[in-house]
Amino acid sequence: MRQYPHLYIDGRWTDPIEPHELELVDPTREEPFARVALGSAADADRAVAAARHAFESFSTTSVDDRIALIDRVIDVYESHIDDFSELIAREVGIPISNRAQVTGPAEHMRVAREILREYPFESRMGSAIVRREPIGVCALISPWNWPVQTGVIKVIYALAAGCTVVAKPSLNSAASGALLAQVLHEAEVPPGVFNLVNGRGREVGDALSHHPNVDMISFTGSTAAGKQVGAAAAGTVKRVCLELGGKSANIVLPDADLERAARWNIQRCFFNAGQSCHAPSRMLVHESQVDQVVPFLADEARRYRLGDPLNIATTMGPVVSAAQFKSIRDHIQSGVEQGGQLVTGGLERPDGLDHGYFVQPTVFTGVTPDMTIAREEVFGPVLAVLPYHDEDEALHIANDSPYGLGGYVFGGDRTHARRVASGLRAGRISFNGAPTDSYTPMGGYKQSGIGRSMGRFGLEEYLEVKSVYGFEDEAQALPTLFG
C-alpha cells in the first residue's frame, strides 16, 4: 500500500491539522492501492495564508527569473515521466501506452515559457500605459481524467504570470497530485508559491471558493460542480475560470471521406476510455449515408485492446471508479430502452475481464436528439450516431445543447465546411481531424465554461489590467496595444 500522508504547504510536507486519510482504489483490480492525506477547510486556510505571504515577493520577480523557474520544473518533471505514467495507470486506469498523458504536460510548460518570454506586460494605448499584473492568490481545482496535464497547465500559467497557488486535485487522482507537488519541490519553487491541499470538494473546494484571500479560482470538472464553484466565488467577487462539461458533435458532410471520418471519430471519442470533455460523442451523418459508415465504426471500435493499463499492449483501460462504471452502464441501458440500436458493445463486460471497471466500446445508431445518450455527457466509450436531413438540421441538432466545448466537421469542400464550422457554437472546432495547437485558447460556450486556458489567453486569465495616466513620454517607448 503506497502512502501519501502529507499536504504541501509553505514549501514543506506537513500533516493535516486533523488526521484523515482516503484509500485510493485501483480500477483494474478493484482494490485499494494507496492512502492519501485529506485536508480540511483549516488546512486550506493555512495554504492560502502561505500563498498570500509569498505573493508579496513572487509577484515582483522578473520574467527571466520565472523563465528560469519553469526551466527547472521542466527538467525535474521529465525525470519523473515514467513515475507519472505508472502512477496514473494505477490510480485512474490510463494505459501506459497513452504517452500523451505524461509527455503533453512538458510541452505545455515549454509553450508557457515561450509565451512568457515574448509577452508585453506593459503597452501603450493612446498616451496611457496599460499594465498587466498578476492577479494574486489562485485556487486551482483539477480533474482526474487528465490528472497531470490539466493541473500542470493551471499551475504553470499561474506561475508564469507571477501568481501564487493553492492546488486541489481530484481525490481520484490525489496520488499524482502529490507527485506533481514533489516535482515543484525538487525544482525549488519558493516556499508558499505552490501549495497542495487534498480534500473533498464540499470542504476544501468550498473553502477555497469562498475564501476572501483567494483572488481567482480555476476549476475543471462537471458543469454541476462548476455552478457551485461559481456561486460560492460570487460572494467575494473573485475571478472565475471554468472548463466544464461537453457533448461535442461531429458533423459529417455528404462529400466527406466517410471511412476516414468514422475511424477518426471512434479514435477521438474513445480516447481515454471516452473520459474526455471534448470527445465527439455525437456523430451526425446524412440520413442517406448512415448505413455506409456503420461498418467502419464497428470495425474501429473492435480494434481496441482492453486490459491491464500497465501492459504496453493495452489501448483501453478501465474507467476511473465504480460510480463512473455504473453511470456509463446506466446510460447504455437508457440508450437500449429508448430505442437506440446497438452496433457494437453494450452492457456486458468485455470477454475475459470479469473484474475491473471495464466498459465495452459501444456504438448506437437510430439515435434521436431527445434521447438521453444524445443529450447528457456520458463520459465513457459510448458514441451516438444521429441522422440529419440537411445542413440546417445538422447545425440545429449540434447546437441544441446546453454545452459548447468542442465541435468537429468532416467534408471535402473546404469553403462549405468552413461555413458549417462557423455555425457551430463551441470553443474549439476541428476540420477533418486537424490536431489542436497548445498555443491556442481552450474553453467553452454556454454551460461548458467561462474563460480560457492555454496560450496567451490562458496567461491573461491570471493577470489584472491597470491603466496608468500622466506618463506620456514613457508610454511612447512601449508597443501599442492595438497595432
Residues with active-site annotation = 243
Cα–Cα distances (Å) from 346 to 138, 141, 279, 425, in that order, read 43, 33, 19, 31
Query: CA neighbours within 13 Å on the CB side: how many for 285?
Result: 26
What is the rounded CA–CA span in Å between residue 33 and residue 457? 39
Note the Cα 346 to chain centre separation in Å. 27
Please calculate the CA angle 52-55-58 and round it to the nearest 5 degrees. Answer: 160
Full DSSP string of 365-398: ES--TTSHHHHS---SSEEEEEEESSHHHHHHHH
Residues contacting residue 439 through CB under 8 Å, at least 6 positions apart: 111, 115, 454, 455, 456
Residues contacting residue 46 through CB under 8 Å, at least 6 positions apart: 9, 10, 17
CB atoms within 10 A of CB 337: 10
Q: Where are the beta strands (DSSP E) in 95-159?
A: 122-125, 128-134, 137-142
Query: CA neighbours within 13 Å on the CB side: how many for 395?
Result: 11
Q: What is the CA radius of gyration of the chain?
A: 23
What is the rounded CA–CA span in Å between residue 102 and residue 97? 10
The percent helix, strand, coil of the chain (3-state, each to 5) is 40, 20, 35
Amino acid identity at 400? D
Phi–psi pair at 478, nearest 5 degrees: -100, 155
Span between the terminal Cα atoms of the chain, in Å: 58
